[in-house]
Amino acid sequence: MIRVEAPGKLNLALRVGSKRMDGYHPLNIVFQAVSVYDVLEAENAPEGVFELSVSGPQAHLVPTDDSNLAIKAARLLAGPGHGVRMRIAKEIPVTGGMAGGSADAAAALVACNELWGLGLGHLELLSLGKELGADVPFVVFGGTALGVDRGDELTEVPSRGRFHWALAFSDSELSTPAVFSEFDSLCPGSFEPPAVPQALLDALAAGDVYALADALQNDLQESALRLKPNLRSLMESRKLIGALAALVSGSGPTVAFLMRDEDAAQRAVTGLRALPGVRDAMAVYGPVAGAEIV
């Protein structure tokens, strides 16, 4: 049996351009992998058998048929004689803007590569990840990275030390296509994505949490807030819990609060759990490694 941990991600900067003819929005993103994990276990099964079970607080929201990205990843790698049974223990929120489905796909790529002795290298797994989804390569990559185009062309970003976050998980989901559609209505016209702030890159390189708080940016945030207005009041709780900044993670609805240190993040979790509309809260840190065998 092979066991793989795959982290969730935060977008420290998410700059969005107008929709292209291929239906995608060009992006400039700074990703950070953080210490909330989905754990996938894989074992051999008879040829052509691809089975998946899921556990965790939102397991009922996760499909276990061929539409699941983990099964798609396994089928992408499978050759004659291959089959797999996979179990996923989910901790990353479902449709929460933290790449939960992409994490499962990345974990399946790493697990099946090892299980079947395929010998694929890191770059080959990154390339295969692009076929599955725009966020999958980053979950394989891990750490802190700049993503361009669909977000799947990656370059490592220097990041010093650890940054601590308190995450508030919403009690309902938010559709990524709906958020992008709202963005299109708010920002009509044809335009390229703005560059990520140099101040953010400098803050990461210096390990300066206060400078990072001033530089966080998410072009999809206003769209998410319009579709889910209670997120606005959640973000306004920033001062109440002592956060330096609040940011909608990706397309939402998870809200990430940047904290001064680990103790502050742990204290913030208690306050966040008491707020309306919050399913759960968690203290995490980043950057962490990408999907890896444990």
Query: Which CATH number covers residue 137?
Result: 3.30.230.10
- From the list 99, 37, 265, 31, the residue with the least C-alpha distance to 167 is 265
Across the range 41-59, mean pLDDT stands at: 96
Phi-psi region of 155 (alpha: psi -120 to 50; beta: other; left: phi over 0): beta
Over the stretch 208-250, which tens digit does the pLDDT of each residue have? Answer: 999 999 999 999 999 999 999 999 999 999 999 999 999 999 9
Does residue 200 sit in the same domain as residue 153?
no
And the tokens for 247? 């940011």
Residue 104 lies in a domain: yes
Torsion of CA 129, 132, 134, 135, to 10 degrees: -70
Where in the sequence numbering do the catalytic residues fall? 9, 135
Q: Which CATH number is 227's domain given?
A: 3.30.70.890
Which residues span the domain enclosing 99? 2-157
pLDDT at residue 173, as a whole number: 85
Q: Is residue 291 part of a domain?
A: no
In a domain, 293, yes or no: no
Q: Which residue has 């750490």 as its token pair?
A: 143
Q: Which of 157, 190, 216 is the last residue of a domain?
A: 157
149/260 same-domain check: no
Using CA atoms of 200, 241, 99, 65 in order, give the dihedral in degrees to the nearest 10.
180
Residue at 52: amino acid letter: L
Same domain, 132 and 198: no
Q: State which H helix or E strand residue 293 sits in.
A: strand 292-293
Domain total of the chain: 2
Torsions phi, psi of 238, nearest 5? -50, -50
CA 258 to chain centre: 16
Query: CA 158, CA 167: separation in Å to the nearest integer?
Result: 23
Tell me, what's the pLDDT at 1?
Answer: 95
Instruction: For residues 39 and 55, give the distance between their C-alpha atoms in angstroms, rounded to a whole number.
Output: 10
In a domain, 13, yes or no: yes
Over residues 67-101, the pLDDT tens digits come to 999 999 999 999 999 999 999 999 999 888 899 99
Q: Give the tokens for residue 238.
A: 């920033």
H-helix or E-strand spanning residue 210: helix 209-215
Query: How much is the CA Rg of the chain, to the nearest whole Å?
Result: 19
Looking at the domain assignment, is residue 85 inside a domain? Answer: yes
As given in the structure block, the two tokens for residue 216 are 């966080």
pLDDT tens-digit series, residues 145-185 = 999 998 899 999 999 999 999 999 998 888 999 999 999 99
**The pLDDT of residue 96:** 86
* CA–CA distance, 253 with 60 (Å, rounded to integer): 18
Listed in sequence order, the residues at least 6 apart from 254 whose beta carbon sits closer than 8 Å to its beta carbon are 93, 96, 97, 98, 167, 168, 169, 170, 248
The tokens describing 12, both together, are: 């420290």
Q: Are 42 and 144 in contact (CB under 8 A)?
A: no
- Give the residue-averaged pLDDT of 128-143: 96
| pLDDT average, residue stretch 100-105 | 96
Find out whether 271 and 237 touch, Cβ atoms under 8 Å.
yes
Pairwise CA distance, residues 203 & 218, whole Å = 17
- Asked whether residue 27 is domain-assigned, the answer is yes
User: What is the pLDDT at residue 59?
Assistant: 93
Would you say residue 36 has pLDDT above 90?
A: yes
Q: What is the reported pTM?
A: 0.94
